[in-house]
Structure 1
Amino acid sequence: MTTSSTRQQVLVLYLSDSALDSHVVGWSRYDGTGRTSPTTGDSDEPPYETGVAALRDGWRLFQAAQLIPPYPGHEYDVSFLKHEFFFERIVT
């Protein structure tokens, strides 16, 4: 008897602003299927141009970063990429 199991793939996209249709500026992929190394995406090109493009390709959005205004006087500080969106895809 053959049984199929499902595994999760996770895609993290960092967008240029808080809108899902804004451009991807950074990304990470994590593949729980075992078909590739746990982190993939060594390309210089993002896997999608926007978050909406990932949705159209079957990825499900499950977390978006909170929109927190900068502390007064720190509006131009350089820090982490704050427009972070987590997507998942369940594969057999």
Structure 2
Amino acid sequence: MKRQQVLVLYLAHSGLDAAVLGWASYDGTGLTNPTTGDSDEPPYDSGVAALRDGWRLIQASQLIPPGKGEEYDVSFLKHEFWFEKLVDVG
């Protein structure tokens, strides 16, 4: 039976080779807590590193330019990438 693990990486820019600024992970296997990521160090240096480790990219945030006068507004993290792994749990 397979269960899903999800990794969300927030990168410095829209390229998958960008540095990881923030992250969240969710483990649906039951092998660890549902959410992990208590470390101060990101699990990968970049999105490409996650791909090389077997994570599959399932979503990238849409690149929407800010409106005039909104270039420095604080909002959501726009360079968000979602990855998944399917793990066999028995």
Q: Same fold (TM over 0.5)?
A: yes
Give the secondary-structure state (helix, strand or coil) at the position aligned to 2:64.
coil
Deviations 1:27-60 (A, max 9, x none): 0000000011100011000000000000000000
Match in the other structure for 1:34:
30
Residue identity (%): 74
CA distance in 2, matches of 1:52, 1:77: 29
Q: TM-score, normalised by structure 2?
A: 0.96
**1:57-76 equivalences in 2 (<5 Å):** 57-76=53-72
CA drift of 1:80 comes to 1.5
> Which aligned runs of 4 or more in structure 1 are off by greater than 2 angstroms?
none
Matches within 5 A, 1:36-55: 36-55=32-51
Secondary structure of the residue that 1:28 maps to in structure 2? strand
Taking structure 1 as the reference length, the TM-score comes to: 0.94
Among candidates 14, 18, 29, match of residue 18 of structure 1: 14
Q: How big is the alpha-carbon RMSD for the aligned residues of Structure 1 and Structure 2? A: 0.5
AA aligned to 2:8 is: V
Count, aligned residues: 88
